[in-house]
Amino acid sequence: CPVVLSGIQPSGRLTLGNYLGAIKNWVPLSDTHDCHYMLVDLHAITVRQDPKVLRDRCFEFISLYLACGLDPVKNVLFVQSHVPAHARLSWVLNCYTQMGELSRMTQFKDKSAKNVDNINAGLFDYPVLMAADILLYDATGVPVGDDQKQHLELTRDVAIRFNNAHGTKEKPIFVVPEPMIPPVGARIMGLQDPTAKMSKSGDAETDAIYLLDPPDTITRKLKRAVTDLGSEVRFDIKEKPGISNLMSILAATTGQSIDAIGAAYNGQGYGKLKGAVAEAVVECLKPVQERYQALRADEAGLMRVLRDGAARAQLKADATLKRVHEALGFIPE
């Protein structure tokens, strides 16, 4: 059965981008794949986090994973820091990754430009930890948004390099994973700046829709979304980034095609499209929001899910780490 792994960093509140680009696509995979979904807290501390906020957010995240429909029996749901093999494999992979490769990563360039007073080694090394996350579980597929494509390429390169150095064609050490990027919703843009992706760690509250935003907030944010000159409803990312983004959101939340949306809303003005997007997003998030409160209130129940998930994850992760250490010539523990 093919193996899937993905994760999200608890570095801010979950956005509609995280939902449409990642979580929404995770849910149906559990019927056909062996799925592992994490909260990547080790990744989150590459940017300063307030400990109290971080702890609370991790519980919020796991509640939202469950509220979005991830079944904790059919999926392995866990926290990255609970499985020490992630940090251990990432050290090994550091020694198989070049500084030059990491300096080409656009996420590092973006994030270091935004955090000029804290360009730490972890921020630079982020993609190597991500490679360890994926390779530990022999993942064949990694369901992520478009922004993670470059990191996935690096994971593949490092896995192939390690296999060439220490494995054989018949017995490779790592499985080389493929990205699984959804055809629509893979890159939701900001509402205030539709030329930059929507992010949970962005500083403008009105740029993102958060999964727990009440319906009137969602509607207000969408009504005030920056649009483009003219009045034509047409998908053209270069000339009409704002309208194209609204069309993508409508397509991803309703299942309509971009062409059908263009045909239905062109000539009706931007207001009509914005109203339809607001209605679709509110509808799409309603069941998630309805389930959330009760799940979040049961911290003991959430801890049970996380402990069970960590134990199941650890079994696999430790087996991979053992294989890697053996291949390197380390004395067995």
Please give the annotated binding residues, written as ranges: 9-11, 17-18, 133, 145-147, 188, 197-201
Among 4, 5, 9, 63, interactor with ligand ATP by CB under 6 A: 9
159 binds ligand ATP (CB under 6 A): no
Segment near ligand ATP (CB under 6 A); pick from 11-19, 119-127, 162-170, 233-241: 11-19
148 binds ligand ATP (CB under 6 A): yes
Is-catalytic flag, 316? no
242 binds ligand ATP (CB under 6 A): no
Catalytic residue chosen out of the listed positions 111, 240, 274, 316: 111
11 binds ligand ATP (CB under 6 A): yes
18 binds ligand ATP (CB under 6 A): yes
Question: What is the rounded distance in angstroms from the CA atom of residue 185 to the CA atom of residue 39?
Answer: 21
Quick note: the x/- pattern for ligand ATP over 201-240, rule CB under 6 A, is x---------------------------------------
Is-catalytic flag, 197? yes
Segment near ligand ATP (CB under 6 A); pick from 20-28, 65-73, 74-82, 308-316: 20-28
Shortest distance (Å) from residue 125 CB to ligand ATP: 15
Is-catalytic flag, 111? yes
Q: How many residues belong to the chain?
A: 333
How many residues line the site for ligand ATP (CB under 6 A)? Answer: 22
Secondary structure of the chain in HEC code, one letter for each residue? CCEEEEEECCCCCCEHHHHHHHHHHHHHHCCCCEEEEEECHHHHCCCCCCHHHHHHHHHHHHHHHHHCCCCCCCEEEEEHHHCCHHHHHHHHHHCCCCHHHHHCCHHHHHHHHHCCCCCCHHHHHHHHHHHHHHHCCCCCEEECCHHHHHHHHHHHHHHHHHHHHHCCCCCCCCCCCEEECCCCCCCCECCCCCCCECCCCCCCHHHCCECCCCHHHHHHHHHCCCCCCCCCCCCCCCCCHHHHHHHHHHHHHHCCCHHHHHHHHCCCCHHHHHHHHHHHHHHHHHHHHHHHHHHHHCHHHHHHHHHHHHHHHHHHHHHHHHHHHHHHCCCCC
Among 3, 4, 5, 12, interactor with ligand ATP by CB under 6 A: 12
Residue 75, beta-bridge partner list: 35
Closest to ligand ATP by CB, 199 vs 253, is 199
Question: Of residues 21-60, which lie at the interface with ligand ATP (CB under 6 A)?
Answer: 21-22
Among 69, 96, 115, 147, interactor with ligand ATP by CB under 6 A: 147
Contact 200, 12 (CB under 8 A): yes
Closest to ligand ATP by CB, 97 vs 199, is 199
Contact 270, 278 (CB under 8 A): no
Catalytic residue chosen out of the listed positions 149, 171, 197, 274: 197
Question: Of residues 166-205, which lie at the interface with ligand ATP (CB under 6 A)?
Answer: 186-188, 197-201
Question: What is the rounded distance in angstroms from the CA atom of residue 52 to the CA atom of residue 216?
Answer: 29
- Give the residue nearest to ligand ATP (CB): 21
Residue 48 sits at the vertex; the CA angle it makes with 45 and 52, to the nearest 5 degrees, is 85
Shortest distance (Å) from residue 20 CB to ligand ATP: 6
Phi, psi (5° rounding) for residue 84? -60, -20
Going by the annotation, the residues of the binding site for L-tryptophan are: 133
Closest to ligand ATP by CB, 6 vs 219, is 6
Going by the annotation, the residues of the binding site for ATP are: 9-11, 17-18, 145-147, 188, 197-201
Q: Active-site residues: which are they?
A: 111, 197, 200
Binding site for ligand ATP (CB under 6 A): 8-9, 11-12, 15, 17-18, 20-22, 144-145, 147-148, 186-188, 197-201
